[in-house]
Amino acid sequence: MAYGTYEQLWDVSHEYLEKHVAFVNSLTSLMLERARQLRSQLFSAESTKRDTFVEDFEAAHDKLQSMGKSLQIVVNDWKRLFADQCSVLDTKPAQNPLPADTYFSFGFIAPTLDYHAGQKVQLLVTYIPSPADGTFYALDDSRKDVIRNSLTILQQMPKELLTKAPPAGAVFAVYLDNVWHRAICNMPAAGSGTAELYLLDMGETLAYSDHLPKAKLPSDLCQLPAYAIKCKVSFTAAALPLSLYYSVSCSVVAVENDTLIVEHAEPSREEYAISRDTLTVEELQEMDEMPLSTSNPMKAVLGYVPKDDDRLCKHYDPETKRCFKGSNCRLRHAPKDPDGWTLDKDTVTVSVPARMEVPQTNTYIQLLPTCVVDVDQFYAHIIGNERNDKDYEQLMAEMNDPETVANFKPFKLMPSLGELVIAKYDGIWYRATVCDVFDDMVNVFYFDYGNTATVGSSEVRRWEDRFKYLPYQAACCRIANIQRIKPCHLEAIDQLYKSILDKPMKALVM
């Protein structure tokens, strides 16, 4: 039976048991109750069958054992089915630490070390032996596509599991930390029975355990050279900044037997489309005009400090759109902007979630016009709702309280189109939304009154969500029985302005 079939059978059986757990519990309760009855019959004080006690005990004991065997038979059947075919893959036996001075001999196809002195190479650290003496194991980052394809095949291929370790020198697969690895057992010296594992693609040596899940490998994967390269820092070079699973830039010093002697090499800086060489004289002068007290050029020029280096994964691969850590990586998988722009985003509020109750058609409402837009269009407050009117008065009082105004946050950069802001009009702060942005001016729409105005950047403040609990107060109204004679008829607009603005009126909703 194929491994996948066993896996499917296991899932179906698990689902069956899960659905019938109540039946299993009931059966167990009945068996326990029967065991208590047998005990009562044998050992109760009223029992007078003392002369036949041995026979009765043996009969009752046989019944008790038969009940246990009825369940044990099922367990044994499953054991026979699975014991020789699969292992518990989630088992992670603790690995015994290896003596630091122990040397193990392994026979395998060594990694290809076709490097020359002075060559720059990017290495991905996979294992750092203890104690740290400058030796480490790493993968060549330039071969990451080949390595990824081989290891992907290893994870996805069907496995023929092994019950015992293969002979020394045979490459096989071992399951560690939820990943299948290529491994090989050591060839112990005469008189030594110590068995160890060497992970060909990680460089780590581990104590062998019979409980480790093992599987056969096809010949094509066995014939591939090991990917883990043994590296050592040159004694004449400074210490490398080694961290597990981090990439380091190195320069090859020499190749000695199976070891790559390296030294640290500073990575080349990324060239962006925008630099000092691409800026004009005027732009350079503007950029260099920073106060002497400025300690962070990014904050001085941009108004904030970009966080791309902290949030973006440095191991991101654009082709696979992920990194080698897979789902374990908590950083953002996205490429840097080729022109050097930051990917940081600032969340802004663009709407008020509260909505005004829409009046029904063919009903009369009371309006207080606040702004005339055209001959047939104006904005107005719907009056008559005492609760809403009182809440809006309270909101305006809180928004213009001197202590509240002092805590309003100014904009470090110009606001975005459609962003909600707090804007001043005739010395009073109102709720507004941004319609247009100029060099140092902002055109805003006061959605509680319906009028627009262009104000200076010093007269707008960042929006605060505590002011969004009330809906827009200005309702856009259109007069049904008026027709314009010509567009932007200023005389007619002025006449309507004088007739209805700030004057309560009764209107029929059409």
Rg of the chain over Cα atoms, rounded to whole angstroms, equals 39
pLDDT tens, per residue, the chain with 510 residues: 555 566 666 666 666 666 556 666 666 777 777 787 777 777 765 555 566 777 777 787 777 777 766 656 655 665 665 554 444 444 444 444 444 444 445 556 778 788 988 899 999 998 888 777 788 999 998 888 888 888 888 888 888 888 887 887 788 998 887 788 998 887 665 545 557 888 989 888 888 887 788 899 888 888 888 899 999 988 766 667 778 888 888 999 999 888 999 988 876 655 566 667 777 777 777 766 655 555 666 666 666 677 777 788 888 888 887 787 777 777 888 888 777 777 777 778 888 888 888 889 999 999 999 999 988 899 999 998 888 999 999 999 999 999 999 999 998 888 989 999 999 999 999 999 999 998 889 999 999 999 999 999 899 999 998 898 899 999 999 998 887 787 778 888 888 899 999 999 999 999
What per-residue confidence (pLDDT) applies to 333? Answer: 82
Query: Residue 508 class from Cβ within 10 Å (0-12 exposed, 13-18 middle, 19+ buried)?
Result: exposed
**What confidence score (pLDDT) does residue 102 get?**
47
Give the per-residue pLDDT at 435: 93
Q: Please tell me the predicted confidence (pLDDT) of residue 363.
A: 92
Nearest Cα neighbor of 255 from 119, 146, 143, 129 is: 119
State the Cα–Cα distance between residues 324 and 127, nearest whole angstrom: 15
- State the Cα–Cα distance between residues 327 and 333, nearest whole angstrom: 11
CA 77 from chain center: how many Å?
43
Contacts of 476 (CB under 8 A, 6+ apart): 377, 379, 450
Per-residue exposure over 150-168, b if at least 16 CB sit within 10 Å of its own CB, e if not: bbeebeeeebebbeebeee
**Distance from C-alpha of 184 to C-alpha of 187, rounded to nearest angstrom:** 9
Strands in 475-478's sheet, in edge-to-edge order, are 475-478, 377-383, 364-374, 505-508
Burial bucket for residue 468 (CB in 10 Å: 0-12, 13-18, 19+) = middle
| Spatial CA neighbour of 214 closest among 148, 152, 167 | 167
Note the maximum CA span of the chain: 125
The tokens for 311 are 């949030």
Domains of the chain: 119-264 (2.30.30.140), 293-346 (no CATH), 363-509 (2.30.30.140)
Question: What is the per-residue pLDDT for 55?
Answer: 78
Assess contact for 182 and 227: CB atoms under 8 A.
no
Q: What is the pLDDT of residue 17?
A: 63
The confidence score (pLDDT) of residue 222 equals 86
Are the C-beta atoms of 122 and 247 separated by less than 8 Å?
Answer: yes
Task: Specify the pLDDT at position 39.
Answer: 77
Q: Report residue 377 as tokens.
A: 């269009």
The amino acid at 194: T
> Does a cis peptide bond (omega within 30 degrees of 0) precede residue 131?
yes
